[in-house]
Structure 1
Amino acid sequence: MTQPPDRVLEPSPVPSGARPGQRIVPLFLLLGLGHLALVWRLGAWTPASEATRAAALLTFGAALALGSLGLSRGYPHDRLGACNAVTQLRAALACCLVLPILDPGLMAALRLDWAVVALALLTLALDGLDGWLARRSGLASSFGARFDMEVDAVFALLLALLVLRLDKAGPWVLLLGLARYGFVLAQAALPWLRGPLPERLSRKAVCVLQIAVLILLLAPPVAPPLSTLLAAVATLALIWSFARDIRWLAARR
């Protein structure tokens, strides 16, 4: 769901010339190479095929390229900061989910089912750390908020795809991963949907519920009909959250 950043600061004073973000892109990419190696190493630890590992690497590479573009265009500070490094790490960990999505048999091999759950939980746990680090270091920015939001969206989509591949719920569970992208497409047709939204704790709670339920569905003991019921509850909560924001924007167009 589109969420306003916690706090957007004014750009830090920097020398004239290239934008601050443009000068930080090489560091961002260098850090990305380290995370790329992490994705490859985690893939090599499993019996996944080279093609499957390459797909995970390409997914993270695409995220890295888009992140670099956003960084060069709109990052106002002269330091990358640990906050953006953590967000990039979250993107790398999320992209590792491509491995079991393309080869669900990995979940049963070497008891990787619980390892995938642990990986997803770690990715979720890091979600609040990057924002806290940004505020603490004075590096909060609209880029950081957008980067964090897009990583959340990709993470939710990959989780939903994996839940579907494991037959924990029907195809409708993809709504939990595609809602954000559907909202973006709707904004292209209805510009008034691009309006700023007020801060709402309920929206953040639904986002956490969305990810938490998807992770819970990956646990081996959670199977239909329980998994179907949990997915339905999370989907209804997400639909309610989007509908509430859409109605708020419609009243002010």
Structure 2
Amino acid sequence: MPLFTNTSSYMLPKRLNTAAELVVGGLLLLALGIGLPQLMTTPANGWLALGLYTLISILAMLFWPHGSLGWANRVTLARAVLVALVAGALANNAFVTAIWQWLAIAVIALLLDGVDGWVARRTQSHSQFGARFDMELDALLILLLCAGLLRLESLGLWVLMIGGMRYLFVAASWQFAWLSEPLYESFRRKAVCVWQVVALLLALTPLTSHLAASLLAISALISLMYSFGADVKWLYQQRNYPRG
């Protein structure tokens, strides 16, 4: 047996398997983009969607070294395709004239959020990567919906705080290490996340008045501030306790 082994020779086939699945996701994105001309009205829409998906794929390649993604992560990858479409339609405000299609794609992406977790439990394929992949897509979808609401209802830049608070929390953890410690499982946190998306989707429908959209967005922001505040308080209280 050789004293040293070339690990790259073992990693390369795994990386190729991952890349192949990501390419399939990219082809799905292109097919959906062609099939939704109302949303992908200009090259800018397509390039934005493809650029975001490419970034997601690069990050997946960097943080998933295990080859095939597995069924749970494949469902999450399908969510990434839909989120990329949601983002692409924001360019040149293409989503405004096809708002119901845009919202339908966002709703499907939201519904798939529960499917990937169910698949992971059924196939016993839980992973830290899968959980993080899912969580970051949730955060990105919420930020994109905020951007759409800002355009449609002109509520003010404060509405971006709903989607940006997660990223501010991550940025703060670079300065305060105790903010990056793992959190306990929380139904409250999950419920607030779901309500954010539901409130934003309702606010974005053409059937919702400007006042109702404002109240829905405010409720999402207040509930989010409460949830983040509870987590920050708990992490601050735990900062001096040794982790077992």
What range describes the TM-score normalised by the shorter chain of this pair?
A: 0.7 to 0.9
Preserved CA contact (<8 Å) 1:193 1:249 = yes
DSSP 3-state at the match of 2:100 = helix
* Ranges of 4+ aligned residues in structure 1 off by more than 6 Å: none
Q: Is residue 2:41 matched to residue 1:48?
A: yes
Q: Is residue 2:110 matched to residue 1:124?
A: yes
1:157-176 correspondence to structure 2 within 5 Å: 157-167=143-153, 169-176=155-162
Letter aligned with residue 214 of structure 2:
T
Give the CA deviation at 1:45. 4.8
Mapped to 1, the partners of 2:189 and 2:35 lie a distance apart of 33
DSSP 3-state at the match of 1:54 = helix
Preserved CA contact (<8 Å) 1:39 1:57 = no
% identical aligned pairs: 37
TM-score by length of 1: 0.84
Counterpart of 2:213 (choices 195, 217, 227) is 227
Preserved CA contact (<8 Å) 1:43 1:96 = no
The change in CA–CA distance for 1:20 and 1:70 in structure 2 (over 3 A counts) is: farther
Name whichever structure is richer in helix by fraction: 2
Q: Is residue 2:50 matched to residue 1:57?
A: yes
Give the CA deviation at 1:168. 5.3
TM-score by length of 2: 0.87
Counterpart of 1:29 (choices 2, 22, 28) is 22
Tell me whether 213-222 or 35-44 shows the greater mean CA deviation: 35-44
Q: Is residue 2:91 matched to residue 1:102?
A: yes
Aligned position for 2:198: 212
Counterpart of 1:243 (choices 229, 234, 237) is 229
Q: Is residue 2:77 matched to residue 1:84?
A: no
Mapped to 2, the partners of 1:229 and 1:121 lie a distance apart of 20
Preserved CA contact (<8 Å) 1:157 1:177 = yes
- Give 5+ residue unaligned stretches, structure 2: 1-8, 240-244
How many residues end up aligned between the 2 structures? 231
DSSP 3-state at the match of 2:178 = helix
- Give 5+ residue unaligned stretches, structure 1: 1-15
DSSP 3-state at the match of 2:48 = helix
Mapped to 1, the partners of 2:52 and 2:110 lie a distance apart of 19
DSSP 3-state at the match of 1:18 = helix
Aligned position for 1:202: 188
Mapped to 2, the partners of 1:45 and 1:113 lie a distance apart of 10
1:58-77 correspondence to structure 2 within 5 Å: 58-72=51-65, 75=66
Mapped to 1, the partners of 2:13 and 2:120 lie a distance apart of 16
Aligned position for 1:4: none
Q: Deviations over 1:20-64 (max 9, x none)?
A: 964642333232232332353245454611122211111111111
Provide the alpha-carbon RMSD of the alignment: 2.1
